[in-house]
């Protein structure tokens, strides 16, 4: 009895979480003249066709992906380096650093967005630039992705035997080589998780991008600007594609993690 109750509860929670996405996906295949989002009138792929003809959406998508890739890569490198530094600190500075790191995560996004915009406008003015754009967007995205990377790399560093690195050096490894040959493989799962998290966060972001975008347009901003008229089902089609991509990414992370755990068990 208890078990069925629990199952029903779980089912309801998942229904609540996924029903909107399901509706969105179903209506991306809706064959309607009026771009209706509530009345079903047959199956068609026409919104997908339109989507790939629409230059503005594709350009926004290209910007979004470019920013996400660069921001994820850069914040992963910076975050990993920072995590190693924080890990080797003494207790008090470590706690201070962690608080500083966590602060942007609990800070409301809109505050981060506005303050970054003010900073960028000031900086751009200082260097004689005219407009915010790709550069400021990427910098902003690196900023808010960084804490997540640090947080996913740190636990892996703590798990690692600190003597390993010294042992490698004892055996004649120069420090840099010791990092790449010994430390990096140990913490790689954390690094990869952090990178994927940074990537998805960057793709999603609306608030911070909105303030720091200048004359560049990302996908979330483009979608939001459709709301005076109606959000076209092309967006359903695009969201379906993106959902599939993010889903695939998450599955990859999970499979990796469970494999790593299995391997760890076998080693032990």
Partner 1 sequence: MKRILAFLLCVCALWGLGVTASAEEGVTINVYNWGEYIANGTDDSMDVNAEFTRRTGIGVNYTTFDSNESLYSKLAGGGADYDIIIPSDYMVSKLINEGRLAPLNFDNIPNYEYIDEQFRDPNYDPGSVYSVPYTWGVVGMFYNKQYVEEPDSWEALWDDEYAGKILMFDNPRDAFAIALFRLGMDVNTTNPDDWDEAAQLLKGQKPLVQAYVMDQIFDKMESGEAWLAPYYAGDAAILVENSDDIGFVVPKEGTNFFVDAMCIPATSQHKAEAEAYINFLCDPEVAGANMDYVGYSTPETAAREYLSPEVAESPIFYPDEETLRNTQIFVNLPQEVSSLVDKLWAEVKMGGPGESAVLVAIILGFLAVYVAIIVYKRRKRKKEME
CA–CA dist 67, 62 (Å, integer): 8
Please state the closest distance from residue 225 (CB atom) to partner 1, in A. Answer: 3
CA–CA dist 67, 55 (Å, integer): 18
225 binds partner 1 (CB under 8 A): yes
Please state the closest distance from residue 130 (CB atom) to partner 1, in A. Answer: 5
136 binds partner 1 (CB under 8 A): yes
Query: Is 18 or 180 the residue whose CB approaches partner 1 more closely?
Result: 180
Residue 173's SS3 state is: coil
User: Which residues ranging from 187 to 206 are in contact with partner 1 (CB under 8 A)?
Assistant: none
Query: Is 104 or 135 the residue whose CB approaches partner 1 more closely?
Result: 135
Q: Which helix (H) or strand (E) holds 104?
A: helix 91-106
78 binds partner 1 (CB under 8 A): no
Please state the closest distance from residue 27 (CB atom) to partner 1, in A. Answer: 10
24 binds partner 1 (CB under 8 A): no
CA–CA dist 222, 51 (Å, integer): 13
Q: Which helix (H) or strand (E) holds 76?
A: helix 55-87
At a CB cut-off of 8 Å and minimum separation 6, what does 110 contact?
207
Query: Is 74 or 182 the residue whose CB approaches partner 1 more closely?
Result: 74
150 binds partner 1 (CB under 8 A): no
Task: Locate 236 and state its tokens.
Answer: 């359903």
Strands annotated E in 192-237: none
Positions touching partner 1 (CB under 8 A) are 33-39, 50, 53-56, 66, 70, 73-74, 77, 117, 120-121, 124-125, 130-136, 138, 176, 180, 211-217, 221-222, 224-232
């Amino acid at each position: 009895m208890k078990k069925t109750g629990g199952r029903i509860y779980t089912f309801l929670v998942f229904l609540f979480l996924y029903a909107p996405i399901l509706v969105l996906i179903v209506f991306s295949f809706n064959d309607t003249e009026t771009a209706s989002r509530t009345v079903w009138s047959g199956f068609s792929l026409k919104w997908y066709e339109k989507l790939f003809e629409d230059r503005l959406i594709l350009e926004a998508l290209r910007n979004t992906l470019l920013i996400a890739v660069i921001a994820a890569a850069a914040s992963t490198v910076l975050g990993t380096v920072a995590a190693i530094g924080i890990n080797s600190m003494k207790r008090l500075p470590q706690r201070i650093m962690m608080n500083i790191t966590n602060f942007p995560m609990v800070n409301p996004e809109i505050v981060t967005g506005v303050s970054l915009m003010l900073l960028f406008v000031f900086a751009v003015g200082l260097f004689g630039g005219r407009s915010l754009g790709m550069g400021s967007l990427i910098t902003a995205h690196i900023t808010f992705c960084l804490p997540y990377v640090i947080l996913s790399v740190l636990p892996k560093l703590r798990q690692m035997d600190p003597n390993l690195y010294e042992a490698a050096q004892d055996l004649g490894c120069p420090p840099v080589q010791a990092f790449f040959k010994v430390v990096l493989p140990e913490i790689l799962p954390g690094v990869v998780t952090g990178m994927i998290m940074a990537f998805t966060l960057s793709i999603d972001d609306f608030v911070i991008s909105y303030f720091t975008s200048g004359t560049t347009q990302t996908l979330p901003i483009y979608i939001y600007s459709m709301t005076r008229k109606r959000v076209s089902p092309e967006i359903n089609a695009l969201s379906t594609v993106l959902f599939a991509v993010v889903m695939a990414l998450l599955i990859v992370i999970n499979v990796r993690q469970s494999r790593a755990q299995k391997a760890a068990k076998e080693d032990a």
